Amino acid sequence: MAEMSARERVQAALGGEDLDHPPVSLWRHFPEEDQSAEALAASTLRWQQMLHLDFIKLMPPGDYATIDWGAQSEYQGAPGGTRETTLFPIQGPGDWLKINPVSVAAGFNAHVVDACRLVREGVGPDVPVLQTIFSPLTIGNKLSNGLVIDHLRSHPENVHKALDAIRDVTVEMTNASLAAGADGVFFASQCATSDLVSREEYDEFGVAYDAPVLAAARDGGSTFTMIHIHGDNTFFDLMAGYDGHAINWHDRRVGPSISDVLGEYPDRAAVGGIDEKAVATMSADEVAAQARDARTQAGDRRLLIGPGCVALVATPEANLKAAVEAARQDS
C-alpha cells in the first residue's frame, strides 16, 4: 500500500479501512510552559518536530477550565506534570450559585483557544489537532476539590445551576477551538465511575451535561472526537456509546483489552496500547513490544497507538521514539 498522509491515516483508522500502518500519537503535560498560548504552542510544536506524530492532542494545564472562575494553582513537581490547585472557588454549597458563564474570548480560556490556533498555523493542514475538553461535572469536581459529589446529593439544585453555566462555557470552548483550527476534541470525564457516583447520579449530573458538548463538537464539524474514559470502575459501556469516533482508556493498567473493546464496539476505533506510567521506566524494547502487541490485538484495523492517559514528564525520548517506530514498522 502507498504511504498515507497523517490525515488520511487517521481517517482510515477511524473508519475501519485498510492502513499502511496505524496512526500513532503520544501526549504529556508541559509544566510551567503551559501558562500562555505562545509557550504552550511552542512546546507542542517542539514535541511534534521531535516525534512526527500522526495527530496532536493539545495539552493545556489540567485545571485550565477552572481558572476563569477563580481557581489558582501551581506546579509542585507532580510526575504527570499536573498543577496543584491552591485555591478552590467552591468551599460550600452556596458557592455554586456564584458560578455564572464566562467568556471564552478572554482570560485563560482564550489562551487555550489561541494555543490551538498557533499550533494549527505551525503544524500546517495535514496533521489532525484535538483540543482537550473536560466534561462539565469534571470541571465541577476540579472547582470544588471533590465536594461536588457531596453537594449534588445535599444541594442538587445549586449544582445543577452551576453545571448549566459550565456546560454553556464548555460548548463555547468547543466551538471556539474548532473555529481556531482543531479537527476535533479529546473529551475527558474523570467522574464517570462508581467510585464517585451511582449510574443514576451520572445520568443526571454527567450525561445530561456531556451530551450537549459532544453535540456541539459534532455539529461544529469535528472529524475526530476521542472519548477518554478515566479511572477504575468506570461506566465504560455508557461512555463507549457516546457521540464520538474513538475511545481512549487505561487499557494496560485497568482494562479491558483492545481486542475485547474492538469486538464489543464495532463502530468505534481504539486509542491505546502504551502504558502511560510504565513507559517512563520500561526499556525501549519493552515499549516497542507494547505497541506491537496492540497492533496484533487489533489486526492493524480501527487502532490508533497512544497512551492510556497522559505520559509522565520524565519519559525518556528513546522510549517515546520506540513507540512511534514500532507503530510504523511493517507488520
Under 8 Å between Cβ of 189 and 214? no
Predicted pLDDT at 331: 67
Nearest CA among 220, 217, 236, 218 for reference residue 228: 236
Total number of residues shown for the chain = 331
- What is the band of 330 on the pLDDT scale with cuts at 50, 70, 90? confident
Arithmetic mean of pLDDT, 57-67: 98
| Burial bucket for residue 300 (CB in 10 Å: 0-12, 13-18, 19+) | middle
pLDDT of residue 234: 98
Instruction: Encode pLDDT of 144-172 as tens digits.
Output: 999 999 999 999 999 999 999 999 999 99
Residue 178 CA neighbour count, 13 Å, CB half: 22
- Mean confidence (pLDDT) of the chain: 98
Q: What is the pLDDT of residue 1?
A: 80
d(CA 233, CA 229): 10
Domains annotated on the chain, with CATH: 6-328 (3.20.20.210)
Average pLDDT for residues 125-141, to the nearest whole number?
98
Q: How many Å apart are CA 314 and CA 139, to the nearest integer?
A: 27
Please state, in angstroms and as integers, the Cα–Cα distance from residue 156 to each residue in 84, 149, 209, 328, following that order.
27, 10, 14, 50
The answer, yes or no, to whether the previous bond of 101 is cis (omega within 30 of 0) is: no
pLDDT in tens, 98-124: 999 999 999 999 999 999 999 999 999
**Per residue in 206-258, pLDDT tens?**
999 999 999 999 999 999 999 999 999 999 999 999 999 999 999 999 999 99
> 96: pLDDT confidence band, cut at 50, 70 and 90?
very high
**In this model, does residue 12 exceed pLDDT 70?**
yes
Residue 269 has pLDDT above 90, yes or no: yes
Q: Structure pTM?
A: 0.98
